[in-house]
A and B are shown apart, each in its own frame.
Chain A
């Protein structure tokens, strides 16, 4: 990597972190203050265009769009973080175990294949049908699909590390497989996992918006970006900004996560896995 590439990825990383920070800030602020009312019906304030005091206008119930986006960011972030945590928490240990080969490897990887083979949406509908719609069901549905993703990434990176001499040295030092996985393998693949986590978080954001859009996500009256998009659909000709702003919000967080992931990959990946 030459100097100009390095500064470019550094720039992308800063922009990405900035965009994520913006969304996190908005969500945190919404816990104590919102610019307008996001839950009450105000018939006289319906479908106002962007202006003052409703910076981004209002929806067909007269709720303040900016406030709804801020509150919606909470569930978006919560789902992304929880779904990635499920994937990391279960997928990484499974991947580390699979990297040691044997029947356990076969069982874990084939189980992952089964999850991959399932149409994601069908499974999500199945889960919400059993648990009832809501944020827990969404987290579970997205999280389940993250497990085999992290298991595969972990296994692949770990496999190449297990052939390295320092692992052989640790084995002659009498360390158990578990101890080697924990103290040698995991720290050396942490960079890869961080990058994968940002990618999975952006996938989770889109999936959450998608599930909310079809009504399986966060339930009314709690606002969510996906449902805002859904409701805006019928009002497209009357009030197009209704679809524009939640769409932009999804765009901001996804671009932020992807830039962060790319930036971190350029910064961490080649040194960790390729170079000794």
Chain B
């Protein structure tokens, strides 16, 4: 039975057509996946259904829920439907919840309309149980919960009034992969047992294919292809879908011959503790050991993936390796030399050998600087200062190496797309010809088609320049496609390390096996 039928939906905002003839159906007990890259209009489609589009948007077409056209409905009517008939789960559970309100009250608030206070509280308890948080005290606050627990609370809020339709917009994107698997299972069991219709919006085809019965692929405001999941994945008809699938399935990297050259990066029993706060008597609380006794090395031309979930100590290890943080014990050697105790001018000869590309392509650049100035900044590490003409030549050469044109140097960061910005970040890193390149979640924020291009570029560069690469990622599939060796980090320790094929085919540690099992695959 059809719950929701979207017919020829169009949306224009500021003269631009952002949705163009979107048609979609959702039935009771069905999960429809809406997949697309950033800017494809998938979130806008979800927001149109719930009536939360920007106020000056111009909407056409029909959204039929239970025979009623939601596009033509009054705001009053939409408010009545929101929550009661159509529930919404957002991407970021921390910002979707009120930090000053305990979770029980937040769920009860959503359930409250039409219920007495006591009944709403009872409903909140049963909802907590329903989303698998039976043992959790409803008096706890969002910051006391893990990311996965918070997303469960957000789902409980969406379920509070028994909606017929649930719209989940990237509900697992902010979560670790093991948590993601559990939340996806929860959502699909809710659909099965309560007979709801779920519209699951995601950029990740693998996530969608795991739970959705039908998939609609969006590009530039249009649905280019829709059909049963199996059909879409196995025999995509549209060119864009084919490309999306090809770029989502990353080929495993062929095993490389071990080389006996001296390592370019060595970490020897590195330990980094953060001291606890002092109490009012001046005594310190127990600290946190973010990185414990970590040792590894990287050969020239070799890519080593460091995988782990949030809080595993990856970021602290990266800071230590980059010489931005000093370990309490152990040492980091780049090209055979260790960072001194005091970071300063004398550290620059070592710093020059290791450069980094960061995750967020939008905040990695000073918005007021030209690309030339940005890319040239590390040249400051060289011993002899270059003339403006030499600098310019180096910048242009680096930009060309990462697949951009030399005239990019004169533009500003906001004139580039996310993928182009990551190329600029790589250009900035390689301009001083480092021995080691650290990629800190550098492809995590990118669309899959863009990601594939960056990974190819990286493979090409490490091979050509003979750099070692420490590739930090939470994504096992990416690690498998790029790395010669893998280090698995868990609670500050490296629990397993080995050649990529060995890690994936025969993981020794339970945690590694869990990570691999939880990674959605097509």
- Chain A interface residues toward B at CB < 8 A: 2, 164-166, 168-176, 184, 187-188, 276
Instruction: Point out the residue from A172, A175, A188 that lies within 8 Å of B355, measured CB to CB.
Output: A172
Is B428 an interface residue, CB under 8 A from the partner?
yes
Residues of A within 8 A of B324 (CB): 168, 171-172
B363 contact set on A, CB distance < 8 A = 164-166, 276
Contact B360 A165 (CB under 8 A): yes
In the complex, the answer to whether B322 meets A172 with C-beta atoms within 8 Å is yes
Q: Which 5 residue pairs across A and B have the least CB separation, nearest first?
A: A173-B378, A174-B381, A174-B348, A165-B363, A165-B364
Complex: A166 Cα to B359 Cα, angstroms: 11
A interface footprint on B139-150 (CB within 8 Å = 1, 0 otherwise): 000000000000
B343-376 vs A, Cβ < 8 Å mask (1 yes, 0 no): 0110110011011101110111111100000000
Cβ of B316 to closest chain A Cβ, rounded Å:
14
Interface size class of B (residues with CB under 8 A): 20 to 34
- State how many angstroms separate the Cβ of A143 from the closest Cβ of chain B: 29
* B380 in contact with A172 (CB, 8 Å): no
CB-CB under 8 A from A172, the residues of chain B are 322, 324, 351, 354-356, 378
Q: Please tell me if B496 contacts chain A, counting CB pairs below 8 Å.
A: no
Collect the chain B residues with CB atoms within 8 Å of residue A168's CB.
324, 356, 358
B377 at the interface (CB under 8 A from A): yes
Q: Are the C-beta atoms of A174 and B378 separated by less than 8 Å?
A: yes
A169-B364, A170-B377 known, 8 other contacts, Cβ within 8 Å: A164-B363, A166-B363, A166-B365, A169-B377, A173-B351, A174-B347, A174-B378, A175-B380
Contact B356 A169 (CB under 8 A): yes
Max chain B C-beta neighbours (<10 A), residue from A165, A176, A187, A276? A165
Instruction: Identify A187's interface contact among B322, B368, B381, CB under 8 A.
Output: B368
Indicate if the CB atoms of B364 and A166 lie closer than 8 Å: yes
Point out the residues of chain B lying under 8 angstroms from A187, CB to CB. Answer: 366, 368
* A173 and B364 in contact, given A165-B358, A168-B358 (Cβ under 8 angstroms): no
The answer to whether A184 and B366 touch across the interface, beta carbons within 8 angstroms, is yes
**How far is the CB of A199 from the nearest CB of chain B, in Å?**
24
- Can you list 9 A-B pairs, Cβ within 8 angstroms, ordered by A? A165-B358, A166-B364, A166-B365, A169-B365, A172-B351, A174-B352, A174-B378, A176-B345, A276-B362
**What is the CA–CA distance of A170 and B348 in the complex, to the nearest angstrom?**
12
A164-B363, A168-B324, A188-B366 known; A173-B358 Cβ under 8 A: no
A164 to B355, CA, bound (A): 17
Known: A165-B358, A165-B360, A168-B324. A173 touches B366 (CB 8 A): no
CB neighbours (8 Å) of B428 from chain A are 169, 173
Given A171-B324, A172-B356, A176-B345, are A166 and B366 also a contact pair (CB < 8 Å)?
Answer: yes
In Å, the complex CA distance between A184 and B367 comes to 9
Known contacts A188-B368, A276-B367: does B362 contact A173 (CB below 8 Å)?
no
Residues of B within 8 A of A169 (CB): 356, 358, 364-365, 377, 425, 428
CA distance A2 to B54 in the complex (A): 12
CA distance A175 to B322 in the complex (A): 13
Candidate in A164, A174, A276 with the most chain B CB atoms within 10 angstroms? A174
Measured CB to CB, the closest approach of chain A to B393, in angstroms, equals: 19
Of chain B, the residue at the smallest CB distance from A275 is: B367
**Chain B residues numbered 424-456 whose CB sits less than 8 Å from any CB in chain A:** 425, 428
A174–B352 alpha-carbon span in the complex (Å): 8
Say which residue of A166, A174, A188, A276 sits within 8 Å of B380 (CB atoms).
A174
| A-chain residues with CB within 8 Å of residue B366 when the two chains form the complex | 166, 170, 184, 187-188
Q: Which residues of A have CB within 8 Å of B364?
A: 165-166, 169
Which of A164, A166, A171, A175 has the largest count of B CB atoms less than 10 A from its CB?
A166
- Nearest A residue to B354, CB-CB: A172
Is B322 touching A173 in the complex (CB atoms < 8 A)?
A: no
The residue on A at minimum CB distance from B373 is: A183
Q: Which of B296-331 contact A (CB under 8 A)?
A: 322, 324
B59 to chain A, nearest CB (A): 19
Q: Which residues of A contact B365 (CB under 8 A)?
A: 166, 169
Closest chain-B Cβ to A268's Cβ sits at a distance in Å of: 12
Residues of A within 8 A of B348 (CB): 174
Measured in the bound complex, the distance between the Cα atoms of B377 and A184 in whole Å is 11
Contacts of B378 in A (CB 8 A): 172-174
A174 to B350, CA, bound (A): 10
Scan residues 372-420 of chain B and give those whose CB is less than 8 A from a CB of chain A.
377-378, 380-381
Output the nearest chain B residue to A169 by Cβ-Cβ distance. Answer: B364
In the assembled complex, the CB of B142 is this many whole angstroms from the nearest CB of chain A, namely 22
A175 adjacent to B377 (CB under 8 Å): yes
- CB-based nearest A residue for B365: A166
Min distance, Cβ B15 to any Cβ of chain A, angstroms: 13
A21 to B351, CA, bound (A): 52
Chain A: minimal CB distance from B237 (Å): 38
Q: How many angstroms from the CA of A75 to the CA of B284 in the assembled complex?
A: 56
Report chain B residues within 8 Å CB of A188: 366-368
Please give me the residue from chain A that is nearest to B323 by CB atom.
Answer: A172
Give CA–CA (A169, B381) in the complex, Å. 13
Q: Which residues of B contact A175 (CB under 8 A)?
A: 377, 380
A186 CB, nearest partner CB in chain B, Å: 11
A250 to B240, alpha carbons, bound, how many Å?
66
In the bound complex, do residue A174 and residue B360 qualify as a contact, i.e. CB atoms below 8 Å apart? no
Which A-chain residue is minimally distant from B376 (CB atoms)?
A: A173
Complex Cα gap A188–B368 (Å): 8
- Chain A residue with Cβ nearest B357: A169
User: Nearest Cβ in chain A — how far from B342, in angstroms?
Assistant: 12
Give the shortest distance, in Å, between A201 (CB) and chain B (any CB): 25
Is B377 in contact with A173, judged by CB distance below 8 angstroms? yes
Q: What residue of chain B has the Cβ atom nearest to residue A171's Cβ?
A: B324
> With A168-B324, A168-B358, A276-B362 as given contacts, are A173 and B380 in contact (CB-CB < 8 Å)?
yes
From B56, B322, B363, B381, residue with most partner A Cβ within 10 Å = B363
